[in-house]
Amino acid sequence: MLHRRAPLAALALTAFVLTTAARRTLEPEASTAGKVRDPAWLPRGTTLRTVACGQRLLLADLYWLQAVQYVGETVMAKVPRWDALYPLAEIVTDLDPRFGYAYQVTGSNLAGLAHRYDEADRILEKGMRNLPDRWSLPLVYATNKFLFEQRYAEAAEYARRAAEIGKRPHLALLAANLSALANTDDEYVAAISFLDQALSETNTPELKDELAQRRTRIQTFQALATLERAISAHRSRTGRLPARLAELVPAELPALPAEPSGGRFVYDPASGAVQSSVLGPRAPLRITRQE
């Protein structure tokens, strides 16, 4: 059986080499440093998988080398054309669906270098389907959503997924921060629940202390967000800001929330701003995307 497959494998590799050479002859861009490859000349990974004759992993490595070279040439040439990066990644991961590093690196580069966020989502989602146990893939997905798209609720969801898959409680800190950026009741509840779970699974005293502090901070932000929404509702209803927080009860709130960090809420009736006497205003870090 091995003797029968060897000529087929050699034939497939010969065809691959000849096809590559022909493409380089027909497509000057593919062989000129600093030029991008036209994705129209790239084959489909599913087709290559069919004719690979048992050598699909070798072909995946060959196309991965092409992808790495393509990224390097494009960066060095400073030409913002990334048309072939996603098709190359598709070929590689069709040939080797468990090539985790290919999903991870391509998903990061498609977002960070190429600003092709839909394609970054697709290759990472493909990776998460094929490698559900690889925690770095949802973490890259969360990073892309946070840094480049400011979609904080999705970023928090995938950061939590990364922490759960990888059994890494420290990622709960990241997930909690992202939930604070999303600033919705559902996200605050999810963050507090996840921090509770991380606390129960953590034996490191330093990390446990950090998780507990973050839980208090998230609870305080949640209470501040509740007050901010109530102040805004009062202004819409009455045409003025409340003179004190007690005016929010009972029309806007059944009762004023407690201050979880052990201080008190400080309200400025002139501006409508409210903050914690311990932690200050609800002002989690935001990152503005730089193109």
For residues 222 and 189, give the distance between their C-alpha atoms in angstroms, rounded to a whole number.
9
For residues 237 and 176, give the distance between their C-alpha atoms in angstroms, rounded to a whole number.
33
How many CB atoms within 10 Å of residue 244? 8
How many CB atoms within 10 Å of residue 150? 13
10 token code pair: 């050699």
For residue 40, give the DSSP letter.
G
Name, in order, each residue with C-beta under 8 angstroms of 248's C-beta and a sequence gap of 6 or more.
227, 230, 231, 234, 242, 256
Q: Where are the domains of the chain?
A: 25-130
Query: Is the whole model's pTM more than 0.75, yes or no?
Result: no
**Which among 135, 233, 218 has a CA at the least distance from the CA of 182?**
218
For residues 74 and 78, give the distance between their C-alpha atoms in angstroms, rounded to a whole number.
6
pLDDT, position 17: 52
Q: What is the mean pLDDT of each run of 10 residues along the chain (291 residues)?
A: 46 50 46 51 75 81 90 82 91 94 94 93 97 95 87 91 89 86 88 86 82 91 96 97 96 96 96 96 62 45
Return the amino acid letter for 239.
Answer: G
pLDDT, position 216: 94
Is 289 within 8 Å of 147 (Cβ atoms)? yes
For residues 143 and 254, give the distance between their C-alpha atoms in angstroms, rounded to a whole number.
38
| DSSP H helices in 167-281 | 171-182, 185-201, 205-238
